[in-house]
Amino acid sequence: MFDAPDHPSTAQAALKTEHFLGFRVTPITRRRIENFKRNRRGYVSFWIFLVIFFVTLFAEVIANDKPLLVSFDGSLYVPAVIEYPETAFGGEFQTEADYRDEFVAELINEKGWMLWPPVRFSYDTVNYELPVPAPAPPSAVNWLGTDDQGRDVVARLIYGFRISVLFGFVLTIISAAVGVSVGAFQGFYGGLIDLIADNTISGKIAKDVLEIMFESGQDAAAIVEEKGLKQVSDSGAIEGEIDTIIAANPDKVAEFQSGKEKMIGWFVGQVMQATKGKANPQLVNQLLRDKLKP
């Protein structure tokens, strides 16, 4: 008589599939995630990677050659965060306390205690108390042994993993930002470059078009079409302007024909001025040289 309502667990399952790690996903993305989950080895490896990375973010709390917390004479100190001189614990020197030194450790233990991280070495701490020459094999002190300089392998792995992953993340973010920026630039200004490359406009006109693009946000091709800025490559129209300029300046023609090659620049400028910068400069130069030959 009446349709039975959907089972609550079914509705909840449908809602759960709409999110992954707290982010809402599209059906296509959800399908990809489900395919990824079916690859058990890859899916488990993904979570192992996340756990290890999260743990290594707190490397200074896990592996450090300084105590996380020191209680001395009724006061608390955090050497892992703040540097304290040896004199703060009754020592003789103003330099930073070496908490691994037996003398400093005795001073602190007489009036308090030290809370050490699980690994009492940082990535660059050298163990000078090795029973054998470095590299040393695994032991109760150095869980995975030391390298050839006596530095703890576990500490170096923790810090090395963190910096490697963070470097990869930063590099990916920078690469994506550069790629998006370059793509956006090419998408917006690429049309202008194409118009210059196919001789639709000259470099001088391109500067004016660029200014209008900045001000209005219009596409380069639309601006050129709207403003009538297309470059003139019709040799007949350009020759007409050249003939007029040559006829009006016989003295300049004579100077050029007498060997003053620089005068060609003056003629090009006159033609460009007469055509309001629309004439193709290369074509103008070629036609002028042909017509100015003695």
Q: What is the pLDDT of residues 78-121, one digit of tens each?
A: 999 999 999 999 999 999 999 999 999 999 999 999 999 999 99
Q: What are 110's two structure tokens?
A: 């007489």
Residue 24 confidence class, pLDDT cut points 50, 70, 90? confident
Check: CB of residue 65 under 8 Å from CB of residue 116.
no
> Could you give the CA distance from residue 19 to residue 7 in angstroms, rounded to a whole number?
20
Give residue limits of the domains in the chain: 16-56, 180-227, 235-291
- Mean pLDDT in the chain? 86
pLDDT value at 1 more than 50: no
pTM assigned to the model: 0.61
Whether residue 93 contacts residue 87, with contact meaning beta carbons closer than 8 Å, is answered with yes
Predicted pLDDT of residue 256? 83
**C-beta separation of 273 from 242 below 8 A:** no
Q: How far is CA 259 from CA 245, 262, 268, 291, 292, in A?
A: 19, 9, 17, 15, 11
Expressed in percent and rounded to 5, the helix, strand and coil fractions of the chain are: 55, 10, 35
Task: Please state the rounded mean pLDDT for residues 240-252.
Answer: 87
Rounded distance between C-alpha atoms, residue 48 and residue 79, angstroms: 31
pLDDT at site 21: 65
Rounded CA gap, 167 and 259, in Å?
A: 64
CB proximity list for 103: less than 8 A, separation 6 or greater: 91
**From the CB of residue 20, how many other CB atoms can be counted at a distance below 10 Å?**
16
- Tokens 């596409």, residue? 219
pLDDT above 80 (res 260): yes
Locate tokens 């001395």: which residue? 72
Architecture of the domain delimited by 235-291: Orthogonal Bundle (1.10)
Peptide bond into 135 cis (omega under 30): yes
Closest CA to 279 of 182, 213, 205: 205
Q: If 0-12 CB within 10 Å is exposed, 13-18 middle and 19+ buried, where does residue 181 land?
A: exposed
